[in-house]
Amino acid sequence: MTTLASAPEQTATAPAATPTRTRRRGARKVTSAGPLTHVLLVLTAFLSVFPLYWTAVAASKTNAELAGTPPPFLPDADLFTNIGRAMEEAPIGLAIVNSVIVAGCITVGTVLCSTLAGFAFAKLRFRGNKTLLGLVIGTMMVPTQLAIIPLFILIAQLQWVDHLQAVVLPTLVSAFGVFFMRQFLSQALPDELLEAARVDGASTMRTFWSVVVPVARPAMAVLAMLTFLTAWNDFFWPIIALTSENPTVQVALAGLGGGYVPDTAVIMAGTLVGTLPVLVVFVVLGKQIVGGIMQGAVKG
């Protein structure tokens, strides 16, 4: 019986000889790009990076220098002085820590809750599944502005004004996230995989952690990135719920460079510092977004 598989092995590999050539030719078509594509890509990359670069340039100049023609294109050594001034004017350090906590909690909460709910909506059979999902999606149509006043009254009664939980808790799960994860899982997660786990004796929770989460990982990374960015950039609710004593980055930036003439350099310096953590998150999560993780799960 040890020979059980050696024989099929040969037949499995032998007929592959002919199709490889065509397949390889097809693969090259996909992986290699022409000169025009390269030019376009370089252009796009340049356009995407330029605003950030310009922020760095502007952060290292004075208002007068920026107003000159032609505008400056190279950063200056003043950058760090300006950053220092920005840090003095507003508690940027505290704001970054606060923003990391807020955006971090919101991201973890949203990704976890959305994956759990998305899995339930996509794969579990329960009464009212469709109705509940419709209700969740329906909340997306309610504008944020509408909820602000009741929310503020609630927060004030809880005496949470100027506390971080006032910003974290209301956005701990998002309808978009639930919908996004449901769509991904209903399509990417085959029912057989869940059934296999059930037959293998896994409870629903165990199946979630051992089977669903690994499969959902790329979508979770995308959702995490989007959520983190939204939470980091959120301004409307934080400026209502928080004060400049205990701000998030966006709230702190709003207080920068004030005066008769706005001090562009300081604002830009603050913005630059406030943007860096987002870049780090992008680099870290970008690696998680690997396609084809489901490859080989089902079918031959």
Interface residues with other proteins (CB under 8 A)?
Answer: 1-9, 11-13, 15, 190, 192-193, 195-202, 206, 210-211, 214-215, 292-300
CB of 291 to other proteins, least distance (A): 12
Q: Which is nearer to other proteins, 91 or 190 (CB)?
A: 190
Among 288, 275, 286, 289, smallest CA distance to 49 is for 275
Nearer to other proteins, 141 or 199 (CB): 199
In the complex, the smallest distance separating the C-beta of residue 20 from other proteins, rounded to whole angstroms, is 13
Q: How far is the CB of 9 from other proteins (least distance, A)?
A: 7
Distance CA 179, CA 118 (A): 6
1 or 64: CB nearest other proteins: 1
What sign has the CA pseudo-torsion 239, 89, 86, 163? negative
Measured CA distances, 26 to 18, 90, 285, 290, 296 (Å) = 14, 56, 30, 21, 20
Tokens of 291: 């396609």
Exposed, middle or buried: residue 244 (CB in 10 Å: 0-12, 13-18, 19+)? middle
Q: CB-hemisphere CA count at 13 Å for 174?
A: 21
Rounded Cα–Cα distance for residues 283 and 271 (Å): 19
For the CB of residue 214, give the shortest distance to other proteins in the complex, in Å: 4
Find the shortest distance in angstroms from Cβ 13 to other proteins.
Answer: 7
Q: Which is nearer to other proteins, 100 or 294 (CB)?
A: 294
Instruction: Say how far apart CA 234 and CA 226 lie, in whole Å.
Output: 12
